[in-house]
Structure 1
Amino acid sequence: MDTELLKTFLEVQHTRHFGKAAENLYLTQSAVSFRIRQLEQQLGVHLFVRHRNNIQLTAAGARLLPHAQTMLSALQRARQDVTQSIQQLQQLSLGATANLWESVLLPVFLPLAAAKPDVTWRTDSLNREASTRQLLEHQLDIAILFDPPKTDEITLVKLTEIHLLPVSSCKEQHAAGKPDERYCYVDWGSNFDVKHQRHFAEQQVVQLKTSSASLAKAWLLQQGGCAYLPAQFVSAELAAGTLKPLEATPSLTLDLYAAYLTDKEYQPQLQAVIRLLQQWQT
Structure 2
Amino acid sequence: MDIDLARTFLEIVSAGSFIKASERLHITQTAVTARVRSLEGELGCKLFVRNRAGARLTPEGENFLPHATEILNAWNHAKRSIALPDGHQSRLSLGSETSLWNPLLVNWITWIKDQLPEAAVDSQVSDPDRLTKALERGQLDAAIVHTPNYYAGINVELLLEEKLIRVQSPLTSEPNLFINWGSEFERQYMAVASSPSQSAFSFDLGPLALQVMLQTGGNGWFRTRVVEPYLSSGKLLRVADAPEFTYPVYLTYRSDSNKPLLQTALKGVKEIANLNVPWML
TM-score scaled to structure 2, two decimals? 0.88
Q: 1:213 matched to which residue of 2?
A: 206
Aligned pair partner of 2:229 in 224, 227, 236: 236
Aligned pair partner of 1:245 in 238, 244, 250: 238
Q: Is the 8 A contact 1:96 1:125 kept in 2?
A: yes
1:272 equivalent in alignment to 2:233? no
Q: 2:273 matched to which residue of 1?
A: 281
Q: 2:41 matched to which residue of 1?
A: 41
Q: Is the 8 A contact 2:88 2:120 kept in 1?
A: no
Which whole-Å deviations, capped at 9, do the CAs of 1:233-270 have from their partners, x for residues lacking one? 1222222222111223122232321111221222x532
Q: Which blocks of at least 5 consecutive residues in structure 2 are unaligned?
A: 275-281
Q: Give the number of equivalent residue pairs.
A: 273
RMSD of aligned alpha carbons: 2.1
What is the 5 A alignment of 1:82-101?
82-84=82-84, 88-101=88-101
State the 1:71 CA deviation.
1.0
Q: Which amino acid aligns with 2:39?
A: L
Of 127-136 and 103-112, the range deviating more from structure 2:
103-112
SS in 2 for 1:94: strand
Q: 1:175 matched to which residue of 2?
A: none
Q: Distance in 2 between matches of 1:165 and 1:253?
A: 9
Q: 2:167 matched to which residue of 1?
A: 167
Change (3 A) 1:103 1:181: farther
Q: Which amino acid aligns with 1:269?
A: L
Q: Distance in 2 between matches of 1:186 and 1:48?
A: 38
Q: 1:65 matched to which residue of 2?
A: 65
SS in 1 for 2:152: coil
Change (3 A) 1:106 1:237: farther
Q: Which amino acid aligns with 1:201?
A: S
Q: Which amino acid aligns with 2:168?
A: S
Q: Distance in 2 between matches of 1:108 and 1:34?
A: 46
State the 1:76 CA deviation.
0.9
Q: Distance in 2 between matches of 1:220 and 1:147?
A: 26
1:256 equivalent in alignment to 2:264? no
Q: 2:184 matched to which residue of 1?
A: 191
TM-score scaled to structure 1, two decimals? 0.88
Change (3 A) 1:113 1:198: farther
State the 1:105 CA deviation.
4.0
Q: Which amino acid aligns with 1:111?
A: W
State the 1:79 CA deviation.
0.9
SS in 1 for 2:241: coil
1:122 equivalent in alignment to 2:134? no
State the 1:23 CA deviation.
1.0
Moved over 6 A (4+): none
State the 1:62 CA deviation.
1.0
Of 115-124 and 21-30, the range deviating more from structure 2:
115-124
Which whole-Å deviations, capped at 9, do the CAs of 1:142-199 have from their partners, x for residues lacking one? 1212222223321112111012221222212xxxxxx214213142x33222222223
SS in 2 for 1:263: coil
Change (3 A) 1:159 1:225: same
Q: 1:77 matched to which residue of 2?
A: 77
Q: Is the 8 A contact 1:102 1:214 kept in 2?
A: no
Q: Is the 8 A contact 2:169 2:219 kept in 1?
A: yes
Change (3 A) 1:236 1:259: same
SS in 2 for 1:277: helix
Q: Distance in 2 between matches of 1:94 and 1:2?
A: 28
Q: Is the 8 A contact 2:108 2:268 kept in 1?
A: no
Q: Distance in 2 between matches of 1:62 and 1:118?
A: 42
Change (3 A) 1:218 1:198: same
Q: Is the 8 A contact 1:199 1:249 kept in 2?
A: no
Which whole-Å deviations, capped at 9, do the CAs of 1:1-39 have from their partners, x for residues lacking one? 111111111000111111111111111222211211121
SS in 1 for 2:256: coil
